[in-house]
Structure 1
Amino acid sequence: MASIIGVSSSPFPTQTSHLLPSRSNSISSLVQLKRDSVRRLLLLRVNCSSRQVGDAETESESKVVLPDTPADTGISAYNWCAALGGIGFLETSYLTFLKLTNSAAFCPVGDGASCGDILNSSYSAVFGVPLPLIGMVAYGVVAILGIQLGQKSRPLGTGEANGRLVLLGTTTSMAAASAYFLYILSTKFTGEFCPYCLASVLLSFSLFISSMKGLGFQEVQKDVGIQLLIVLLVVSTLNNSYSDSQPTNTGSALAEMEYFTAEITSESTPFAISLAKHLHSIGAKMYGAFWCSHCQEQKQMFGREAAKLLDYVECFPYGLKRGISMINACQEAKLEGFPTWVINGEVLSGEKKLSELAALSGFDMKEELTEAK
């Protein structure tokens, strides 16, 4: 029994000694496998996190770049254009009303004489069109374009790019005209101050800068040639208009003269009074100037009482100064000299005898003389 147990007991230690190494190897292999999988997971996480960081940096860079684009900066610039254009529209509307109604301007600085002299000068119209009316249209267009471009809508039915170019061209022409008028004010109206003119100059240059900011510096550089062409066209147009509209009767002795009223010393005859009443009844008008000697002689022919009955139009009620032109009524009559009579639609230049005026107006002298007796 003892031998059997001793023989039979010998294999167990042998088997145990064979099994232990295999289990330890499997356990170590499992541990190594786990370590490898953990390393792979860590590598995946690192790669994923690096990609996320790279994407975040790309997004942050794109977010930083976006505010520098013309589209974002253009919103505030075009809102400025809309606001400044609206202010300019209100100002020029007021000046247009004054120009069309021959009303005196309210001048916040000074006695108002400078404002009236400049607004009634020959430089206040371009080829017969009142300058404030042109400015009112220009400011209105700028205000509308600024509102529509600021709201990202199609300005005036065109594309956004075309709308920006139209706005830049309009403000360029306004700035060029303002620079020209600033030169006129400094050379032709020395010592006079017009706050409306200076405010328009400031608005025009501000609109020009705002439109350039909205379009972008690179786009403005591409259109420099067009802008220079617009400036040359505006200056050439203004030069041609003012060279044709300058008064021809202003000699050196009449360059500066304040308005005055000459006294009529002669007595009116019954014939002269009757003729003056007749001329008034048919709408005949006499156009003249306070400094015109022939106009004064014409009034002396009628006499003191009859001259008051005539429809006389003074063409220079603000005096005669450098740059001052005739009032609109005289400009529309297309006068060639003083005095000028307009009788039954016929324009008659020069001083006329009473008998001539009676014949031209259909006045019956014999009948009137008979009634006078």
Structure 2
Amino acid sequence: MASFLNVTSPPFFSSRTTLSTSPPPNITAQLSQFKKGWCWKLKCMPSSGPSQETESEPPETAPSPSNSASLMSSSSVSTYNWCAGLGGVGFLETAYLTFLKLTNSDAFCPIGGGNCGDVLSSDYAVVFGVPLPLIGMISYGLVAALGLQLSGKKLPFGIDESNGRLLLLGCTTSMAAASGYFLYMLSTKFSGTSCSYCLLSAFLSSSLFFITLKDFGLEEIQKFLGLQLCIASLVIFSLNTSYATLRPASSSLADIDLEYFTTEITTPSSPFAISLARHLQSIGAKMYGAFWCSHCQEQKQIFGKEAAELLNYVECFPDGFRKGSKMIKACADAKLEGFPTWVINGQVLSGDQELSELAKVSGFKIEESNQPS
């Protein structure tokens, strides 16, 4: 007997030529294998039900570590930019004060029973023989440079970012400690004195300190707390040591008792100066000053004796100067920022002025025969 299986069609569509009523055993096994294979194929085929039209939603993914690191890096860059900016402002301020200190020039700042020049010219403006503004300029410059370098990820001398951040924290900690100490000295040794530069420097240094702290996490802050306390203690100890040899506080500015006095004007007045003084008087221009102010005396000397007597001069401390002294109401209402101060037609001029400038601002017509020499 022989049988034939067409393998090009499914087994249940196969055509057979049978010579006996029962197939041989080997043919039965082959049919069984084909049926199993075909059923397996049917089971693997996707069903045609409604589930085909439903798309599976993508699984939710948690933020990757790289994204978190990117956010932290962006926050650090912002911190470094702030440090660079505030450090730059502090550098400019202390550079100006250093110039004034080295040239013995007067600082121009708000007045309140004293001025910034009193603080800048005092013994407390020097630490171990080095001008305090110069130390501040170096400190602010270092912070600004570190901020720029950390922001650009390019630190010099092979310093990595971790050590750079630690160095920045040490600098801002020492500056904040020094500023706190100086504010204490300002309130005790210079009572009644207003120093806008001192307050600005304290604001900048404390801001830099807290901005740097914010860049460190709580765990890191706790880790370096001991180091910060050591730095602050060392700064305060050094300042105390430097000031230990200064004269007692009884001779400081806070205890000065200065009686009112007048200074004689010795220079003669030119015709132009007399005409200008009369013009300034006629338009209500005023010159505010203080009896101890050297620049006020120089301004009067420029006008000369005769012309100075014609000026509308306002003395802000007619009863002398002592601890707690305040300017008279006219000067306080004018919101003066220094002496002398001119108020001409609503325009404020600070410091002593040339006669030609006063003539220009006041609208005084300069005659050919009366031009200033």
TM-score of the superposed pair, with normalisation by structure 2: 0.55
User: Alpha-carbon deviation of 1:166?
Assistant: 1.4
Contact map agreement 2:95 2:137 (CA 8 A) in 1: yes
Match of 1:86, as an amino acid? Answer: G
1:227 aligns with 2:265: no
From 22, 29, 32, the counterpart of 2:36 = 29
User: Alpha-carbon deviation of 1:91?
Assistant: 0.2
Partner Cα distance (1:122, 1:114) in 2: 15
From 76, 79, 82, the counterpart of 1:77 = 79
User: Alpha-carbon deviation of 1:14?
Assistant: 9.1
User: Alpha-carbon deviation of 1:253?
Assistant: 12
Q: How does 1:154-233 map to 2 (within 5 A)?
A: 154-155=155-156, 157-233=158-234
**Residues 245 and 27 (structure 1), Cα distance of their counterparts in 2 relative to 1, 3 Å cut:** same
User: Alpha-carbon deviation of 1:74?
Assistant: 1.5
User: Alpha-carbon deviation of 1:215?
Assistant: 3.8
Q: How does 1:1-150 map to 2 (within 5 A)?
A: 28-38=35-45, 53=59, 57=61, 60-67=63-70, 69=72, 71-107=73-109, 109-110=110-111, 113-150=114-151
Contact map agreement 1:82 1:143 (CA 8 A) in 2: yes
Contact map agreement 1:180 1:235 (CA 8 A) in 2: yes
**Residues 193 and 252 (structure 1), Cα distance of their counterparts in 2 relative to 1, 3 Å cut:** closer
**Residues 128 and 227 (structure 1), Cα distance of their counterparts in 2 relative to 1, 3 Å cut:** same
Partner Cα distance (1:140, 1:179) in 2: 20
Partner of 1:338: none
Partner Cα distance (1:141, 1:25) in 2: 88
Partner Cα distance (1:203, 1:93) in 2: 15
SS at match of 1:57: coil
Partner Cα distance (1:143, 1:124) in 2: 23
Partner Cα distance (2:258, 2:234) in 1: 35
Partner Cα distance (1:147, 1:202) in 2: 21
Partner Cα distance (2:150, 2:91) in 1: 18
Contact map agreement 1:77 1:214 (CA 8 A) in 2: yes
What value does the CA root-mean-square deviation take over the aligned residues?
3.9
Match of 1:93, as an amino acid? Answer: A
Q: How does 1:233-312 map to 2 (within 5 A)?
A: 233-246=234-247, 250=251, 255-257=256-258
Partner Cα distance (1:14, 1:253) in 2: 134
SS at match of 2:193: coil
How many residues of Structure 1 are paired with residues of Structure 2 in the alignment? 242
Unaligned segments of structure 2, at least 5 residues: 1-16, 47-55, 265-291, 293-319, 324-373
Contact map agreement 1:179 1:201 (CA 8 A) in 2: yes
Unaligned segments of structure 1, at least 5 residues: 1-11, 40-48, 264-289, 291-318, 323-373
Task: State the Cα deviation string for residues 121-140 of structure 1 (Å, max 9, x = none).
Answer: 22211122111010000001
Partner Cα distance (1:253, 1:219) in 2: 43
Match of 2:226, as an amino acid? Answer: G
User: Alpha-carbon deviation of 1:213?
Assistant: 2.5
SS at match of 1:117: helix
User: Alpha-carbon deviation of 1:262?
Assistant: 9.6
SS at match of 1:106: coil
**Residues 251 and 143 (structure 1), Cα distance of their counterparts in 2 relative to 1, 3 Å cut:** closer
Partner Cα distance (1:259, 1:35) in 2: 115
Partner Cα distance (2:37, 2:158) in 1: 75
Contact map agreement 1:176 1:235 (CA 8 A) in 2: yes
Match of 2:106, as an amino acid? Answer: A
Relative to total residues, which structure has the larger helix share, 1 or 2?
1
Structure 1 stretches of 4+ moved >6 Å: 12-19, 21-27, 251-254, 319-322
Task: State the Cα deviation string for residues 90-138 of structure 1 (Å, max 9, x = none).
Answer: 000000111111111121x347942111222222111221110100000
Partner Cα distance (1:253, 1:100) in 2: 24
User: Alpha-carbon deviation of 1:247?
Assistant: 5.5
Match of 1:116, as an amino acid? Answer: G
Partner of 2:303: none
**Residues 248 and 83 (structure 1), Cα distance of their counterparts in 2 relative to 1, 3 Å cut:** closer
Partner Cα distance (2:153, 2:32) in 1: 74
Partner Cα distance (1:215, 1:261) in 2: 59
Contact map agreement 2:190 2:253 (CA 8 A) in 1: no
SS at match of 1:203: helix
**Residues 62 and 105 (structure 1), Cα distance of their counterparts in 2 relative to 1, 3 Å cut:** same
Contact map agreement 1:78 1:214 (CA 8 A) in 2: no
Contact map agreement 2:112 2:192 (CA 8 A) in 1: no
Contact map agreement 1:256 1:321 (CA 8 A) in 2: yes
Partner Cα distance (2:322, 2:128) in 1: 21
